[in-house]
Structure 1
Amino acid sequence: MVCHQVINSVFWCFILLVVMLTFFTTNASSTEKTKIEDKEMNVIDQCWRFNPKWRKHRQQLTVCSVGYVGKMTNNIGKDLIHYTVTDPRDHPLNPAPGTLRYEASRIQGKVWITLKRNMNIKLVRPLLISSFTTIDGRGVDVHIADNACLMIYKATNIIIHRIRVHHCRPQAPGMMMGPDGKIISLGQVDGGAIRLVSASEIWIDHNTLYNCQDGLLDVTRGSTDITISNNWFREQNKVMLLGHDDEFVRDKNMKVTVVYNYFGPNCHQRMPRIRHGYAHVANNLYMGWVQYAIGGSMESSLKSQSNLFIAHATGKKEVTWRKSSNGIGDTWKFYSVGDAFENGASFVETKGGQVTKPNYSHEQNFKVVDAKYVRSLTSSSGVLQCSKTSIC
């Protein structure tokens, strides 16, 4: 009888243990998921971040882009080459296998780049990124910093995702290996983080950029069909330039989407500064500015939609700045639709006329949500902290 009672007690203790383990495991998983679900996650992140097996399905990212870049499905296919960076070193003329420059200069075709471990990459010369390249930094902590940085020159279909680019420095003219494996001469580089020159269909997403000697992101010389999303721009004077200079009229065809980005702290101006082209700036968070947040010249057009502009307690309150041409004014088209303003921030719109529409195609289109959700939509901007076991 006593033995039976002991066995019975052990049985129920075992059942209780199983129930407790199940409860706590389920509760932990539920809590982990709720940390994401409680936020008003933006449409790009909703597309892939709920998938706990994103590591096995990295290419799912290509259908998540919105705005003028469209979908990035040209970056995948049966001919996709998977390349893993294992070596943080850089040699501009003779790159070794396993380095980032080796992929950029030696490997041709569609390439999906991942990195084996956390690393700091100090580029000796600027890295020219080839067409149909994806740099996917999810799952590791990657810094490109402290010297030369990134350039996209006459290339198309490129994704730069989840890396930190900072403390970029000017570079004197010099020799380096280009995307086709040939040695080329590159002129003076001003020290920006990412520069686009005559590029198209480029997606810059979930990166953290800061503290460079020139700008953080330049879209120049006829570049178009660009989406800049979910990035964190901070600690910078000149942040983002759209359009090369006043004389480069080919930038009239430039179309850029700037969405779900976080600007600040300590960003002074150019968020963005537009010449000639058109920008749709939507659902971004602006944490103050020193000179202005958004500027333009040379008949540039802007639709500022459902952004949150928070001015500093003291200093400039006006969001916009416009440069006159030859002292006779200009015909900018700057419109604010559904923007929210705090701490006295204000936006000077173009008088009369109609709001310029993005005119997106079906695959480019996305819903711009109410500005009251912008804090939540941008709360994961910049480099994501990805769990080693499941969610990102």
Structure 2
Amino acid sequence: MASQGVEAMGITTPRHLALALALAIVLMPRTINAANKRPQNSGIDKNLNVIDRCWRSDPLWRHHRQRLARCSVGYAGKMTNNIGPGVTCYRVTDNGDDPMNPKPGTLRYGATQIRGKVWITFPKDMNIKLHRPLLVSSFTTIDGRGAHVNIAGGACITLLGVTDVIIHGLRIHNCQTQETVEVMGPEGHIIRIDYPDGDAISVISSTKVWIDHNTLYDCGDGLVDVTHGSTDVTISNNWFRTHDMVMLLGHDDGYVQDQHMRVTVAFNYFGPDCDQRMPRVRYGFAHVVNNLYQGWGLYAIGGSMNPSVRSEANLFIAPDAGRKEITWKLRGKGGSDWNFASTNDVLENGAVFTQTGDVGLEPHYNRTQAFRIGDATSVRSLTWSAGALSCLKRSKTRC
């Protein structure tokens, strides 16, 4: 059949045959990886989202790592407080972990013991088991690009009362719940944490946080929690899979301080095997934009206590069996003023989005937060590289 197609095009020379075959490969649709059903692509897509286009087009990105801080969008805004004069560049060379006396070379030492702006990188692949939660200092960037970095099998990452933090390029999974623990925190302070519940990344009473291009799955509780009055957070380009309660925005129904919470959830890939909370919102405002939903169990987006959610230009692919409804609202919990708006979403396989309240919600971004939103029909392309990237050290091209 292939030779008949070439002959029909009038191509007879070996050179023309090679060109035709190359063209056919380029035009082939993306395939599905049989192991994890994640969309695949053979190279850098011309339709990179606005964040990735900002830095991935640079073949010398390794020499310009801090350019990343200017690529964030959404409520976190530009992370320029993480760069500039006085940045300490710190390399993790030791995969060990001493929660009470961090040793130089370990991730915990770089994240807690260095004052001021810190940019943390990994010169080699590394598997890190944290014995207690890692408390990250303000003005810290954890940049996993260029290495295969796993944080798994123990405690995970907590941002407690901090500002200006970037977490990028990590594989965080199999986090475990723990008893009440004490741990060395920023600036040498011993901090007690009551019953860490096994979240991959927990954002507590923190502001201006950017969580980008991480792969997260199979943890004791949630994958990302934003709680206790945290705000101005962007969660982008992550791959969430194989998990029940994925993302919680808002502590509990009695914590009214979360009414000021603002979170952007953009360019993420949810699936396969994600059941609920993508996200679940209490009180605050969530702009959920250009994400790919590969099915769900109970629901995709839900919440309580009158949250406002603008779902914009997402691709929702309902499961073959089970609930087709995307949204979930806890009845009797502030349900009178619900604002769930769907704008330019694409609903496939029978998916249904029930709008409630003000369907004209706007995020009201300022100049440093605003970004170009892609059409929902391009979401597969915009999210095909979601998760921790494989940036080959010997590559002379782009990440």
SS at structure 1 position matched to 2:67: helix
| Kept in 1: contact 2:329–2:335 (CA 8 A) | no
Q: Which residue of 2 aligns with 1:194?
A: 201
CA shift for structure 1 position 354: 4.4
Q: Does 1:213 align with 2:220?
A: yes
CA shift for structure 1 position 368: 1.1
SS at structure 2 position matched to 1:57: helix
| Kept in 1: contact 2:304–2:335 (CA 8 A) | no
| Partners of 1:82 and 1:37 in 2: CA distance | 28
Q: Does 1:99 align with 2:106?
A: yes
SS at structure 2 position matched to 1:55: helix
SS at structure 1 position matched to 2:172: strand
Deviations 1:204-228 (A, max 9, x none): 0000000001000000000000000
Going from structure 1 to structure 2, the CA distance change for 1:44 and 1:36 (only over 3 Å counts) comes to farther
| Partners of 1:387 and 1:121 in 2: CA distance | 20
Paired AA for residue 345 in structure 2: D
Paired AA for residue 117 in structure 2: K
| Partners of 1:35 and 1:101 in 2: CA distance | 36
Q: Which residue of 1 aligns with 2:13?
A: none
SS at structure 1 position matched to 2:72: coil
Q: Which residue of 2 aligns with 1:350?
A: 356
Q: What pairs up with 1:1-392 in 2 under 5 angstroms?
A: 36=43, 38-325=45-332, 329-351=335-357, 353-388=358-393, 389-390=395-396, 391-392=398-399
| Kept in 2: contact 1:39–1:377 (CA 8 A) | no
Paired AA for residue 367 in structure 1: R
| Kept in 1: contact 2:74–2:234 (CA 8 A) | yes
Q: Which residue of 2 aligns with 1:16?
A: none
| Partners of 1:179 and 1:159 in 2: CA distance | 16
CA shift for structure 1 position 269: 0.1
CA shift for structure 1 position 38: 4.0
Of 97-106 and 83-92, deviating more is 97-106
Which stretches of structure 1, 4 residues or more, deviate above 6 A after TM superposition? none
| Kept in 1: contact 2:276–2:298 (CA 8 A) | yes
SS at structure 2 position matched to 1:330: helix
| Partners of 1:281 and 1:100 in 2: CA distance | 31
| Partners of 2:355 and 2:283 in 1: CA distance | 17
| Partners of 1:213 and 1:57 in 2: CA distance | 36
| Kept in 2: contact 1:268–1:293 (CA 8 A) | yes
SS at structure 1 position matched to 2:167: strand
SS at structure 2 position matched to 1:387: coil
| Partners of 2:259 and 2:112 in 1: CA distance | 31
| Kept in 2: contact 1:339–1:371 (CA 8 A) | yes
CA shift for structure 1 position 186: 2.0
| Partners of 1:234 and 1:273 in 2: CA distance | 16
| Partners of 1:273 and 1:330 in 2: CA distance | 17
| Partners of 1:187 and 1:350 in 2: CA distance | 37
| Kept in 1: contact 2:306–2:335 (CA 8 A) | no
Paired AA for residue 238 in structure 1: M
Going from structure 1 to structure 2, the CA distance change for 1:373 and 1:175 (only over 3 Å counts) comes to same
| Kept in 2: contact 1:297–1:330 (CA 8 A) | no
Deviations 1:303-323 (A, max 9, x none): 000000001111110000001
SS at structure 2 position matched to 1:202: strand
**Identical amino acids, percent of aligned pairs:** 57
| Kept in 1: contact 2:135–2:160 (CA 8 A) | yes
Over the aligned positions, Cα root-mean-square deviation in angstroms equals 1.5
Aligned residues: 359
| Kept in 1: contact 2:340–2:359 (CA 8 A) | no
Q: Which residue of 2 aligns with 1:5?
A: none
| Partners of 2:271 and 2:42 in 1: CA distance | 24
Paired AA for residue 245 in structure 2: K
| Partners of 1:45 and 1:138 in 2: CA distance | 13
Which TM-score applies when normalising by structure 2?
0.88
Which TM-score applies when normalising by structure 1?
0.89
| Partners of 2:190 and 2:315 in 1: CA distance | 46
SS at structure 1 position matched to 2:347: strand
- Computing the radius of gyration over CA atoms, which structure comes out larger, 1 or 2? 1
| Partners of 1:42 and 1:36 in 2: CA distance | 14
Paired AA for residue 325 in structure 2: E
Going from structure 1 to structure 2, the CA distance change for 1:297 and 1:241 (only over 3 Å counts) comes to same
Q: Which residue of 1 aligns with 2:31?
A: none
Of 278-287 and 179-188, deviating more is 179-188
SS at structure 2 position matched to 1:257: strand
| Partners of 2:181 and 2:392 in 1: CA distance | 41
| Kept in 2: contact 1:296–1:332 (CA 8 A) | no
Paired AA for residue 222 in structure 2: G
| Partners of 1:360 and 1:342 in 2: CA distance | 29
Of 104-113 and 218-227, deviating more is 104-113
CA shift for structure 1 position 66: 0.4
Q: Which residue of 2 aligns with 1:18?
A: none
SS at structure 2 position matched to 1:309: strand
CA shift for structure 1 position 233: 0.2
| Kept in 1: contact 2:342–2:359 (CA 8 A) | no
